[in-house]
Chain A
Amino acid sequence: MRTWLSIFARLFTVQSSWNYELLVGTGIGFCTEPGLRGLPGGRQGTAYHTALARESRYFNAHPYLAAIAVGALVRAELDELPPERIERFRTALCGPLGSVGDRLVWAGWLPFSSLLALAVFGLGAGPWATVLIFLAVYNIGQLALRAWGLRVGWRYGLQAAAALGNPVLRTGPQYIGRAVALLAGIALPLVAGRVLRDGRVLLGVPPDMTTGAPAGMHVDSLVGLTILAAAVIATLLVRLQGRLEGWRVTLGVLAALTIYSMLR
């Protein structure tokens, strides 16, 4: 149990020395190290050093799903399986652990948690409620994934690759994708409304903005127009996918807005 906890704690640093040569290799070596102490001869033994060298070589994986690899590799080393089998397993696991993790977490769980927090903000939540809801939802998912990955790898060793066929990993992105679409629809208008109606943003509104009609009406028109314009630009961005990045467009628009405001 102590070894398991030690490995689990180290998983949080798996990408600390990420580089273009070994990628996450030294991180995997670092995470497996407490388990390798159980090899014959302990920390002074040849088996320990040989295994650590093997585990610190080139490896690539999603940081959370790397837990499966770490657990499985420790189990395989402790079972003293032939080195060539372990090497083959490492090579075979690199691609799937990356792509499954990217789809499930970066393209699924993270946007889901973000949009949920944005919706909560849009409904009027304060700073700490918004932040805590985001952190709680996201981290329940990532901690569960890491713990499950390590447990599966530890238990099944080189058979752990079959865990990638788990229904959550296989069909989870489909369900999360639908939830992301639903939440995006709910959150984005609410966020536009709350940010543009916020006193901090609107207190600088000059008097001419509010003449001729109640201030509230102007604000609502502003929100409506903003949502409409955003929908048109979003459609363009989707159509120009791969050729245009949103943050670059934002940089250009904000720079142009600043220059326009200075010259006006």
Chain B
Amino acid sequence: MSTSLILALALLGGLVGLDVVSFPQAMISRPIVAATLGGTLLGHPGDGLLMGVVLELLALETLPVGAAWYPEWASASVVGGALFASQPVPMAGALALAMLAAVITAWAGGWTMQSVRRLNGLWARRSLSAINAGNPSTVLNLQLRGLVADFLRGALLTGVAVALLLPAMTVLLQRWHLSAGDSSAVAVGIAIAVAASAAWKRSRAAAGASWYLVGGLAIGLAALVLL
């Protein structure tokens, strides 16, 4: 992968990383969007979407609530989408390995988000007297610094992850012995399980939710058989 392509992916990772918390929270940071964009940069939006769908299933479990630590799926999805789309020919294990790379990046991304929050806190503490004096430029500065720090966080994370994980994935793919069907089934199966448990946790408080789930499953399975 060329340096300019890694830089373009890093830029995209920075933009979607910004959307997670800082700006504008329009959910371009969701895997289904971010991974598709990542794959598009490599000329394969369909591959990006495939990875995005699998990661979206995992991300359904994550509640981006306030101060809690959670995996950051935005930059991770750009990485996952790009790594999956970067394989010149379909290879067994590509889906599972790109997904593994994305989950590792999401885990690291969670920590980088906490670091940015601590950095914002440091800047806020240092500016406390100006904030208490109602200085508008200080407030504006804190907002801008937060935006820039978060953008750089996402961009650096994406760039470093792609640069490190792509060669690792290439090496592992050459030694991959499981069939594509088996390895993809395991990867998709675990993602579906996480999504199903997340959907149930989110909806079970609603009256009659179990009947809606069973009804939905009947429709889904019927459509799967008929289509």
Q: Interface residues, chain A, CB within 8 Å of chain B? A: 12-13, 15-23, 26-27, 29-30, 33, 43, 48-54, 56-57, 60, 63-64, 98, 102, 106-108, 110-111, 113-115, 117-119, 121-124, 126-128, 130-131, 134-135, 138-139, 142, 173-193, 195-196, 198-206, 208-209, 218-219, 222-223, 225-227, 229-235, 237-238, 241, 245-247, 249-251, 253-255, 257-258, 260-262, 264
Contact = CB atoms under 8 A, between A and B. Distances in A.
A17 B142 contact: yes
Interface string B38-77: 0110000111111001101111111111110001000000
A104 to B, nearest CB: 12
B209 to A, nearest CB: 4
B124 A183 contact: no
A174 B134 contact: no
B97 A111 contact: no
Contact of A181 (B106, B124, B213, B221): B213
Contacts of A208: 179
A257 B178 contact: yes
Contact of A261 (B93, B103, B191, B204): B93
Interface in B179-193: 179-181, 183-193
A250 B181 contact: no
A18 to B, nearest CB: 6
B166 interface: no
A20 B187 contact: no
Nearest to A194: B53
A237 B58 CA distance: 13
Decide if the interface of chain B is mainly helix, strand, loop or mixed.
helix
Contacts of A219: 181
Contacts of B92: 204-206
Interface of B: 21-28, 30, 32-33, 36, 39-40, 45-50, 53-54, 56-67, 71, 89-97, 99-100, 103-104, 106-107, 117-118, 120-121, 123-125, 131-136, 139-140, 142-147, 150, 172, 175-181, 183-210, 212-221, 223-224, 227
A51 B133 CA distance: 10
B183 A245 contact: no
A54 B133 CA distance: 9
Closest 4 CB pairs of A and B: A185-B216, A177-B206, A49-B134, A246-B194
Find the residue from B71, B202, B204 having the highest chain A CB count within 10 A: B202
A191 B202 contact: no
Given A185-B215, A185-B220, A245-B61, A233 B193 contact: yes
Nearest to B89: A203
